[in-house]
Chains A and B, each alone.
Chain A
Amino acid sequence: EPEVTQTPSHQVTQMGQEVILRCVPISNHLYFYWYRQILGQKVEFLVSFYNNEISEKSEIFDDQFSVERPDGSNFTLKIRSTKLEDSAMYFCASSEVHRGSLYGYTFGSGTRLTVV
């Protein structure tokens, strides 16, 4: 079964440093998303991406964050100047149809980001 692949599985970074989280969505999916889950809290939406543009973003997704599809397979989330409160599990997801309306979303296994 096709998978969404995320790397690394765990990243530790110093406060103030930049991190890039990487994702390889399912190959025939056109819509890509980032979600995050702070320990003990709900999974929350960050951003959706289609056709090399952000489609929607949440209030969490401020200027500290950016997304990019640098080539035909990768989808990245960059966090500039990380803060302690950015520590969370970050999930990449993809869908074949807009907003997962027909077939739902497929999630990756996540990157656990720890900011120290």
Chain B
Amino acid sequence: KQEVTQIPAALSVPEGENLVLNCSFTDSAIYNLQWFRQDPGKGLTSLLLIQSSQREQTSGRLNASLDKSSGRSTLYIAASQPGDSATYLCAVADYKLSFGAGTTVTVRA
């Protein structure tokens, strides 16, 4: 059974700092890994998708890495802004998506 863990559970940083969010998973037989953003009481917005054959994916200030063999992914957010405050979810895809519990980020102005 796939288990996805995200560390830390919460993070508070001043504006401008870089963010590092970690995700680990137990079964490396995955199709891909997807990072989502969730605002309180809202839906899931896809941020980045990394295929199992890829090592890295970038979109603007966001960069995600994947080390499938060790079961780890890291999401980097450069130069954080207050608008980045949200919960970030990691999800790995085999026959279904398995989600981590998320990292709740607060960026202080």
Contact = CB atoms under 8 A, between A and B. Distances in A.
Contacts, number: 63
Dominant SS among interface residues on chain B: strand
B43 A109 contact: yes
A101 B51 CA distance: 8
Contacts of B43: 91, 107-110
A102 B49 CA distance: 9
Interface residues of B, number: 24
B32 interface: yes
Nearest to B41: A112
B58 interface: no
A100 B93 contact: yes
Interface of A: 33, 35, 41-45, 48, 56, 58, 89, 91, 93, 99-110, 112
